[in-house]
């Protein structure tokens, strides 16, 4: 797939990706699951570069769900270490290429070292405008929705909001994606056909694209194929 085949005037403003298949890919190579996560970082680089070429404005990656805490401690610790090192190591490059970093999810539930590196990278890149890379970290759509409900209920209790004024717009303003447009295209790798608790509210009118490609094998060309499919529906 070549970029010349894409109508750049009709590229989705926001693309979201469920990066699935790292563990299965590693198993196919006879390696531990964490090896697949490490290789998957290169796929993130390739995908981000292609998204910039396509002039996508927002790229959201499902990097770490709340369910990931149920994995073996060795894998959890390895994922956290990988996350910290990747954010710290990529911050300067992201900034140099005009990428603004953002995060959604229960960030306070992450280790302190991860929170620190994340906030530093977000602050460093906050003025960039080429593309916004949104990392969904310790994220759960159900958690996000419940958190919004609790916050709105608290404001009603304090008489700051009248129940008659609770609208979709007000509810959306209490989500962690309040400053991000809903995704027009959502991609899931590895052949699975489910959302896995990702952007349930925001994906109400999103186009879905499922590919059997495991995440470590995903490239910029695969992103272009997904966008091409999106444009020809």
CA distances from 166 to 10, 143, 162, 173, 182 (A): 33, 19, 7, 11, 20
For the chain, how many helices (H) and strands (E)? 7, 6
Q: Is 68 a catalytic residue?
A: yes
Catalytic residue among 20, 22, 38, 138: 20
Separation of alpha carbons 64 and 22, rounded Å: 12
Catalytic residue among 7, 22, 38, 68: 68
Separation of alpha carbons 204 and 129, rounded Å: 27
What is the chain's Cα-based Rg? Answer: 18
- Return phi, psi of residue 120, to 5°: -65, -40
Any idea which residues carry the catalytic annotation?
Answer: 20, 68
């Amino acid at each position: 797939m070549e970029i010349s085949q894409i109508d750049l005037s009709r590229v989705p403003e926001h693309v979201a990706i469920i990066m699935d298949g790292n563990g299965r890919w590693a198993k196919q190579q006879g390696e531990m699951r964490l090896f697949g996560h490490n290789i998957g970082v290169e796929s993130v680089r390739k995908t981000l570069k292609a998204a910039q070429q396509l002039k996508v404005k927002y790229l959201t990656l499902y990097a770490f769900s709340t369910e990931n805490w149920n994995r073996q401690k060795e894998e959890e610790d390895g994922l956290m270490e990988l996350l910290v090192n990747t954010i710290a190591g990529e911050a300067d490059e992201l900034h140099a290429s005009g990428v603004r970093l953002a995060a959604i999810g229960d960030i306070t539930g992450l280790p302190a070292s991860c929170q620190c590196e994340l906030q530093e990278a977000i602050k460093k890149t906050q003025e960039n405008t080429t593309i916004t890379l949104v990392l969904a970290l310790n994220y759960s759509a159900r958690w996000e929705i419940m958190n919004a409900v609790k916050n709105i209920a608290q404001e009603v209790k304090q008489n700051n909001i009248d129940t008659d004024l609770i609208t979709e717009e007000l509810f959306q303003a209490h989500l962690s994606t309040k400053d991000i447009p809903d995704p027009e295209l959502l991609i899931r790798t590895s052949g699975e056909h489910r959302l896995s608790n990702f952007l349930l509210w925001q994906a109400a009118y999103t186009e879905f694209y499922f590919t059997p490609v495991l995440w470590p094998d995903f490239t910029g060309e695969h992103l272009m194929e997904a966008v091409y499919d999106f444009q020809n529906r």
